[in-house]
Amino acid sequence: MMKPADNIIICPNCGDGQKIIDVESGELICTKCGYVIHDRVGDVHEDWSILATEPSSKLRTSPTSLARSGMGLSTIIGRPDKSAGSGLNAAMRSTFDRLRAWDFRVKGQDERSLRRAFVELDRLRGIIQLSDAIVEKTAYIYRRAQERGLVRGRTMRAILGAAIYIVQREMGISGTMDDIIKATNTKEKDLARAYRILLRELDLKVPMLDPVKCVSRVANNANIGERTKRRAMDMINDVIKSGQAAGKDPMGLAASVLYIACLCSNEPKSQATIAEAAGVSEVTLRKNQRMIVGIRQQTTESIL
DNA sequence: TAAGATAAGAGGGACAT
DNA sequence: ATGTCAGTCTTATCTTA
């Protein structure tokens, strides 16, 4: 499912120029005070630092609007795959042209395997909804991966999927890995491994997904009330401040915090419900829960 | 310098309560 | 529904050739 890029606007509640981030539910939520607005305004802000280093290519002007036009509705009406034939191939051709322009010293064999990969990428594009911009950036990453010999010994699809995931994360599109797993028909382990390798070897940095955003997302998935959500957001900020959240899966933290918040707010939700909404196991939720409760006890004791 | 050994930490499954 | 434990996977660090 496609999500729009992050919108950064001013929060009308706390006003202080706080950021408001468009989470996948389509809500706008202030990362500081938790205020929720329902109007969707603000200019879409996209940045692509990697490609910005390419001097003469005007990649950012590529027409993504066409691919995006079906966003949202198309998941209900059905895939616009019929129109894919001509349009996509044209887009892929332009991608090829650009890639070739970047480096004309490609060897024949490399180019052939590259082409195979891009054919697969084209297929993926029809399954998951990928904008032109995503396809191009994915292709760029894949090409770099192949240049460094990272593809050898791994499946091409895993690398492609990982590249897609990275691009989505960089663009603030919180796509799920599950979609990619299904589309690429790879094992999660392979995909995750490829993902880590790409990050390390290509020096890519993906913005850590914001735990506050995660709380909001999970809360919406699990139909948790506004007050409880707010409480959970406060709580997770404390957890982050305590420093004990380092290296933990933000989704797991979000789930645990929400569970505790539900207990406090007398809004009964089972661990299973919340864990499922967050895409983590109940075990993880419990472990984090214990840790968080420990933190809260410590802080309250230190206050007393 | 590169490849193996070991330890620590995290997440998930199975079972018990 | 919730709590507990053993086995798995990954990364970092140390060792060995």
List Cβ<8 Å contacts ≥24 apart for A148-152: A148/A201, A148/A202, A150/A197, A150/A198, A150/A201, A150/A202, A151/A113, A151/A117
Give chain A's domains with CATH numbers. Answer: 1-61 (2.20.25.10), 110-201 (1.10.472.10), 211-303 (1.10.472.10)
Residue A269: nearest nucleotide (C-alpha to C1') = C1
- Give strand C nucleotides closer than 7 A to any protein Cβ: 1-5, 9-11
Helices (H), A78-210: 84-102, 108-127, 132-147, 156-170, 177-184, 188-201
Residue A49 confidence (pLDDT): 35
- Closest residue, by C-alpha, to the C1' of C4: A283
Residue A282: nearest nucleotide (C-alpha to C1') = B12
Residue A11 confidence (pLDDT): 52
Residue A110 confidence (pLDDT): 66
Contact A66, A132 (CB under 8 A): yes
Residue A210 confidence (pLDDT): 83
Residue A294 confidence (pLDDT): 85
Residue A19 confidence (pLDDT): 45
Residue A108 confidence (pLDDT): 57
Q: How far is the CA of A136 from the C1' of C11 (A)?
A: 32
Helices (H), A16-64: 49-52
Q: How far is the CA of A25 from the C1' of B6 (A)?
A: 45
Residue A160 confidence (pLDDT): 92
Residue A226 confidence (pLDDT): 92
Residue A304 confidence (pLDDT): 56
| Measured distance CA(A291)–CA(A138) in Å, rounded | 38
* pLDDT < 50 regions, chain A: 1-8, 16-87, 103-106
A247 touches strand B (CB under 7 A): yes
